Structure 1
Amino acid sequence: MADTTARPPVRTPRSRGRAPHKGQQTKAAIIDAALGLASHVGLEGLSIGAIAELMGMSKSGVFAHFGSREELQISVVREYHERFEREVFRPALQAPRGLPRLRALFDNWMRQTSLEIDSGCIYISGAVEFDDRPGAVRDALVETVNTWQAAVRKAVQLAIEAGHLRPDADAAQVAFEIHGLILALHYEARFLRNPDGLRHARTGFDNLIARYQAQP
């Protein structure tokens, strides 16, 4: 935002570019630390004071980047979504459209879930924390989850259009069942510590695809 105060100090182009860059770096570092903390204690465990202590900063220093706890929580949700897309969605786009891409999405999603066994999934923990709490944080969670689920449905629809899945298959239903496998995997692996969770999830996906797969 431009400085509208009277007689603003004159800055060289170099100084104008350097200050925002440093500020963005600090903000990114705060979000990274907050995401790490939220992965273990949930979004509700975040506070300006906790992050300030974690970063070795003053509360006012953190507050300068995030005007409220809610703004910090929303930034963490969006950062988690960006990383999730980078690790799960974008690599799958390298696979051919249709069933190969859908399999890549599921494989990447399973791998991400297995990596989060000792920390936690912001999508899942956030749903538990904010399922009945209207507000901006819940809205941000719903928006990012809906974006991801729409991508899964699109991948299923492309598999139908490619002739890999039956033409009468319901893309929303298939995507729903795939999501259910991931939720079951998270529960089995994180809560029950079942070492067979990944194998069961993969078998479940193979059975699901076999049920909907188009006949040669």
Structure 2
Amino acid sequence: MIDGRLLRGERTRQAVLDTAVSLASVEGLEGLSLARLAQTLGVSKSGLFVHWPDKERLQLAIVEHARQQWTDLIVRPALRAPKALPRLWALHEHRLAFYEAGTLPGGCFFAAVGAELDDRPGPVRESVAQANDDWMRLLTTIAAQAVERGELREGTDVGQLAFEIQALGEAVVVHAHLLRRESGYAYARRAVLDRLRALATDPTILPEA
């Protein structure tokens, strides 16, 4: 039988991390403390120390939770698409859908904390960098698979293509949240789709618009 206290503890932990990722997407990680989380959630600060005895461990847990959220809501659904070019497109489309749905108030956790931590060495920066690197590697790997399967033209620079897809995804966050222009979603969708269709040996396996 599962201990009820353990279940409650895990539910509390997940609720705290959900809230922390949302707050960090707006405020960043550095200003996020157990006291701030306790106040937002209406719980005692001492109760949170059971899970995270110091700020660095809390920050690492938040990064890992954001990474799991990205995997669950973007990567896994996209990987249900057929290999390989439709799957590459699906990764971009699910990312845009994640942003457009307002899942996080700041749009993107990794865009917010990446800018904050890029010049601050340490385990938290390394964790964020690893998450971003893994995403880029996934885009590059699937693009390479599309070349191998003959779905993208031979000689396609898959690193360049992955970079462009990532850059357009990041641009949406600035366009929608800083400039308050919803047109960014359509621009980023069209830009990547046009690029993929131009490189595709059979553009009909991708949407037309």
**TM-score when normalising by structure 2:** 0.88
Counterpart contact for 1:52–1:62, Cα < 8 Å: yes
Corresponding residue to 2:17 among 31, 35, 50: 31
Partner of 2:137: 150
- Is 1:176 aligned with 2:159? no
The one-character-per-residue Cα deviations of 1:133-155 (angstroms, maximum 9, x if unpaired) are 00111011011111111111111
Partner of 1:103: 89
Counterpart contact for 1:167–1:214, Cα < 8 Å: no
Partner of 1:62: 48
The one-character-per-residue Cα deviations of 1:35-72 (angstroms, maximum 9, x if unpaired) are 22222212123101111222222222111210111211
- Is 1:195 aligned with 2:182? yes
Distance across 1 between alignment mates of 2:20 and 2:174: 24
Structure 1 counterpart of 2:5, one-letter code? A
**TM-score when normalising by structure 1:** 0.86
Higher relative contact order (CA 8 A, sep 6+): 2
Structure 2 counterpart of 1:23, one-letter code? G
Gaps of 5+ in 2: 204-209
Structure 1 counterpart of 2:191, one-letter code? G
Counterpart contact for 2:153–2:199, Cα < 8 Å: yes
Corresponding residue to 1:120 among 107, 116, 121: 107
Partner of 2:196: 209
Shift of 1:177: 0.8
Shift of 1:120: 2.8
Gaps of 5+ in 1: 1-13
The one-character-per-residue Cα deviations of 1:187-213 (angstroms, maximum 9, x if unpaired) are 212211223212211221122113322
- Is 1:160 aligned with 2:121? no
Shift of 1:157: 1.2
**Residues matched between the structures, number:** 202
Distance across 2 between alignment mates of 1:56 and 1:118: 20
Counterpart contact for 1:118–1:190, Cα < 8 Å: no
Distance across 1 between alignment mates of 2:25 and 2:185: 21
Corresponding residue to 2:8 among 12, 22, 32: 22
Distance across 2 between alignment mates of 1:68 and 1:115: 33
The one-character-per-residue Cα deviations of 1:104-148 (angstroms, maximum 9, x if unpaired) are 111101111223484231111111110000011101101111111
Partner of 2:206: none
Distance across 2 between alignment mates of 1:97 and 1:215: 14
Distance across 2 between alignment mates of 1:210 and 1:28: 41
Distance across 2 between alignment mates of 1:107 and 1:36: 21
Distance across 1 between alignment mates of 2:22 and 2:172: 22
